[in-house]
């Protein structure tokens, strides 16, 4: 393929994904209906594990209060041991729930990716040739391999983490207000800064994740075509042109990757700063309230734990959303190809050529490629080739030599006229 044709095939970078993250998730649920129940179970276990983790600080607060109260009269070690045993069972149950949830999600996402690859493989054999004229072979291979793997990894790792972190975040918020509303309000106000910054960054970075996946597909397509046609490239002395186009495509991938990673990379340290600021606010306000006798030392201990559990989900959610943005872009590309128009059903045709004589006739054929229906390639072509007759098809580049062979093979449908083989219309042959 020539350098100009490949350059013209490069996809324009969209401002945002067609479906968006929610749209891709909705389409996934419709696509894999048999996986809905295991997914719900796995996400429920993730929530349960997060809830058990949330309850932990309240038990630590009880231990701190028992120790503080026993400094004068004696520490009740039996009561502390009971609370500690309960706390150990809760954390073990939380770990078990998390393990089972990860096992289920890994299993169902691997099944999902297998189903997608099977469907993509079937789709490749059922789409018309015009589809391969719009999209390079390498780009299609990138969807089958790179995009499906990206989607599978994000669903397996990031989606459960986001769900459990969201449950942990909401649970911590409730427990903080139940424990001490003033300290909770101060921590929430600090955290809102992080939420606002994260929402702003996500709105700016999504288009770069989409661009990265699409440009990577274009680069893979170009590399595949140039290596498969390497002999032609060397004979035509097109090395410099090929290198120039490759450098341009490679730079586009680099720029999209750099911008997406730069914006998404800001979220993690930003959440750490917000979390540390929350620690400072809670410690200062808690010390003032404890000095005034309004709260106990156990409340401060619990709140320090709650702030950690309250802010850490923000970092997890921020990191998970980065992966889910990439998954949304990959899902867009996979579903775009799965929803391509397929070849029409020809099972009803009954004409067969048991013994082929070799008579070929083009009868006033008119044709234009589906991608550009207004540009007529063959206007009114007629030819009659008798059995055993040898005919050479010659002409300059773009004259329609390959198009004629493609029409004879029925890779494309003609606009009008007819092509007959041994007197039978090619459109009627099974």
Q: Which two tokens stand for residue 238?
A: 């097109």
pLDDT digits (tens, 9 = 90+) for 118-149: 999 888 888 887 777 777 777 888 888 888 98
What pLDDT was estimated at residue 210? 76
Distance CA 295, CA 302 (A): 11
φ/ψ of 170, rounded to 5, equals: -65, -45
pTM reported for the whole predicted model? 0.62
- Helix (H) / strand (E) element for 425: namely strand 424-425
Question: Which residues are 383's β-sheet partners?
Answer: 362
What is residue 373's DSSP assignment?
Answer: T
Which residue carries 């500690």 as its tokens? 84
pLDDT digits (tens, 9 = 90+) for 178-196: 877 888 888 788 777 777 7
Distance CA 232, CA 227 (A): 10
Determine contact, residues 411/417, Cβ cutoff 8 Å.
no
Which residue carries 């943005």 as its tokens? 325
Determine contact, residues 6/222, Cβ cutoff 8 Å.
yes
Count Cα atoms within 13 angstroms, Cβ side, for 143. 24
Distance CA 176, CA 188 (A): 10
| Mean pLDDT across the chain | 79
> Which of residues 60 and 31 earns the better pLDDT score?
31
pLDDT digits (tens, 9 = 90+) for 10-20: 333 334 456 67
The C-alpha torsion from 357 through 362 and 368 to 370, rounded to 10°, is: -30
- Please give the class, per CATH, of domain 3-338: mainly alpha
Q: Is the pLDDT of residue 1 over 50?
A: no
Distances (CA, A) of 284 to 65, 186, 279: 20, 11, 9
pLDDT digits (tens, 9 = 90+) for 232-287: 777 777 788 888 888 888 888 888 888 777 776 776 677 777 777 777 887 888 88
Centre a 10 Å sphere on the Cβ of residue 357 and count the other Cβ atoms it contains: 12
Distances (CA, A) of 279 to 13, 168, 272, 284: 42, 18, 11, 9
Q: In the chain, what are the domain boundaries? A: 3-338, 360-428
Of the candidate ranges 30-39, 246-255, 382-391, the one whose mean pLDDT is the lowest: 30-39
What pLDDT was estimated at residue 277? 78
Q: Is the pLDDT of residue 8 over 50?
A: no
Determine contact, residues 215/256, Cβ cutoff 8 Å.
yes
């Amino acid at each position: 393929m020539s350098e100009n044709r490949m350059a013209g095939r490069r996809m324009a970078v969209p401002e945002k994904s067609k479906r968006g993250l929610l749209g891709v998730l909705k389409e996934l649920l419709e696509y894999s209906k048999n996986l809905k129940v295991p997914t719900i179970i796995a996400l429920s276990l993730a929530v349960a594990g997060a809830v058990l983790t949330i309850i932990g600080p309240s038990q630590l607060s009880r231990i701190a209060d028992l120790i503080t109260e026993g400094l004068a009269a004696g520490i009740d070690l039996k009561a502390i041991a009971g609370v500690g045993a309960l706390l150990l069972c809760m954390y073990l149950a939380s770990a078990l729930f998390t393990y089972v949830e990860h096992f289920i999600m890994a299993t169902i996402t691997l099944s999902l990716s297998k189903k997608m690859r099977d469907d993509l493989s079937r789709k490749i054999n059922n789409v018309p040739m015009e589809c391969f004229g719009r999209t390079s072979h390498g780009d299609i291979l990138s969807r089958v391999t790179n995009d499906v793997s990206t989607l599978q990894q994000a669903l397996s790792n990031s989606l459960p983490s986001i769900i459990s972190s969201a449950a942990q975040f909401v649970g911590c918020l409730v427990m903080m207000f139940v424990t001490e509303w003033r300290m909770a309000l101060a921590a929430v106000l600090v955290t809102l800064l992080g939420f606002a910054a994260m929402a702003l960054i996500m709105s700016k970075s999504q288009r770069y994740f989409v661009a990265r996946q699409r440009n990577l597909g274009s680069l893979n397509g170009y590399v595949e075509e140039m290596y498969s046609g390497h002999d032609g490239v060397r004979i035509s002395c097109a090395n410099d042109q090929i290198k120039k186009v490759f450098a341009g495509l490679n730079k586009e991938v680099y720029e999209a990757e750099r911008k997406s990673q730069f914006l998404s990379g800001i979220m993690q340290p930003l959440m750490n700063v917000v979390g540390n600021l929350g620690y400072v606010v809670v410690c200062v306000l808690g010390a003032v309230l404890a000095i005034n006798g309004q709260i106990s030392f156990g409340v401060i201990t619990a709140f320090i734990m709650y702030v950690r559990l309250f802010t850490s989900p923000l970092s997890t959610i921020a990191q998970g959303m980065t992966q889910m943005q990439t998954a949304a872009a990959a899902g867009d590309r996979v579903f775009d190809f799965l929803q391509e128009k397929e070849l029409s059903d020809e099972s009803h045709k009954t004409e067969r050529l048991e013994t082929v004589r070799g008579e070929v006739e083009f009868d006033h054929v008119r044709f234009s490629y589906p991608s550009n229906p207004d540009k007529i390639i063959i206007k009114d072509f007629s030819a009659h080739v008798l059995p055993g007759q040898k005919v050479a098809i010659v002409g300059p580049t773009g004259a329609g030599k390959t198009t004629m062979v493609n029409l004879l093979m029925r890779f494309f449908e003609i606009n009008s006229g007819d092509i007959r083989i041994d007197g039978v219309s090619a459109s009627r042959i099974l």
